[in-house]
Amino acid sequence: MKRRLENISYKNRTLKKNFDTIIISGKKLFNFSSNDYLSLSKNKRIINESKKWLETYGSSLSSSRFVSGNLDKISLIESMISKFTGKEKSLIFSGGFLMNSTLIPTLTDNNLGQRNRVEIFSDKLNHASINYGCYLTRQKVSRYNHLDLNHLDFLLKKTSRKTPKFIISETLFSMDGDIANVDDLRIIAKKYNAILYLDEAHSFGVFGKDGSGFAFGKKYEKEIVVGTFGKSFGSFGSFVSTSDEYIKKIINSCSGLIYTTALPPSVYASIYAALKIIPKLNKERKNLLENSKFLRNKLNTFNIDTGNTQSQIIPMIIRDEKKCLKLKKKFENAGFFLKVVKSPTVLMGTERIRLSLTSSMKKSSLIEFSELMKNYSL
C-alpha cells in the first residue's frame, strides 16, 4: 500500500476540550498519533509570546543566520538551552531531519570533501534522519543490534585503536518507546575514546530532572546531544548541545546551519516561552507517564504485544499490515484516530499501530479505548 497524505483540520484547537481531537472528513476523532507530549502547542502563554514577537519582528527573518538573520534573542535562547541540557554551548537548527543529516557528516569531517577515516557505530533502530546522515558521510557504518551494548562493544573491539570512532543512539526510540542506557553508553564511549552522539528528540521535556532528558550534564567531554522542539515543546526546529570545540566546528562547516533561512521569529518566541514553562511541568510529566503505564498494562492483559516500551510511546505490534489497517478503520468508526506504521519505517514483520500519549489525555478516554481493544480479535 502506497503512502498518502490525509487532510486534517481542527476546531478551536486551543480550547481544552479539543486538545486531543482532530477532524478528518468532517468527523471529530480522538488523536492517538500526536507528538505534542506536554500539550504545549495549545498553551496560551506560548501563543501570546509568539504573537508578540510576530508583531515586533515580522513573519520571517528572510535570511540565513550567517547573513542578516541572526536575531540577537536567538543567542539568549541558545544559552537557555545549554543551561537546560547542562552542556557548554548550543545551536538552534531549522529542523530535526535537516540537523541529523548534515551534522553527522560535519562531525565526521566529510561534508567538505575531507576523507579522514572514521568508523560509525549506530543502533539498528535509529531514526531515518540518522541513517541518512551516516550514509552521507561515506564512512564505514556498523549497525549494532538494538540496545545491545555487548554487540556494540564486540564491534568496537574489532576496530583499530587508531581509527576515530563515532557512536550514535537515540535515548528514547520513536517507534518502540524503549530507552537506551545512557550511562552504559558513556562507559563504552570512554573505553574506546569515541564521540558519543545522543538524540533526545522524544525524551527531551518528558524525562530527566525538570524534563532535561537522559543526557543532562558534562559527564563525558566527547558527547553531543541533539533534540527537537516539535514534540514536547509544541513548537518547531531542533538543537545541538555540546562543547565549545564542537560548536565552533559546526558553525564553520555544517551546511544545514549555514545555508538555510533562520526560523521565523514567532517560532523562536515559542521555544523561548516553552523553555521557561517546561521545568515547572512535573505534575504533567507524572500524569503522562502514569497514564502511559496504565494503558500499556491494560493492553498487555489483552495479549497485545507492546514490546519493551517504558514511555509515552506505545507500539501495538500486530505484525500484519492488513490487520493493522483493519484495526485502524474499526477504531476510526468508534471515534479514535490511529496511525499504522509499516515497512520501511519499521522492519518488515513488525508492522504496528503506534500510540502516542499526551499529558492532557484523560484516563476515561484510555479506558474507553482499551475496552474496545479488549473486544477486538486479532
Count the neighbouring beta carbons within 10 Å of the beta carbon of residue 358.
24
pLDDT of residue 195: 96
Question: What residues pair up with 287 in beta bridges, in sequence order?
Answer: none
Q: Which residue has the cell 476515561?
A: 364
Q: How many residues does the chain have?
A: 378
| pTM for this prediction | 0.94
Class of the CATH domain delimited by 16-31+281-374: alpha beta
User: What does the pLDDT read at residue 376?
Assistant: 72
Whole-number Cα distances in Å, 81 to 90, 200, 226, 273, 307: 7, 13, 11, 12, 32
Residues of the chain with pLDDT under 50: 111-113
CB 241 within 8 A of CB 247: no
Q: What is the pLDDT of residue 112?
A: 45
Q: So what's the pLDDT on residue 115?
A: 59
Amino acid 8: pLDDT: 81
Sheet order of strands, 336-337 included: 21-24, 27-31, 336-337
First to last CA, the chain: 20
Q: Where in the chain is the domain with CATH 3.40.640.10?
A: 44-279
- What is the identity of the amino acid at 207? F
- Where do you find CATH 3.90.1150.10 in the chain? 16-31+281-374
The CATH code for residues 44-279 is 3.40.640.10
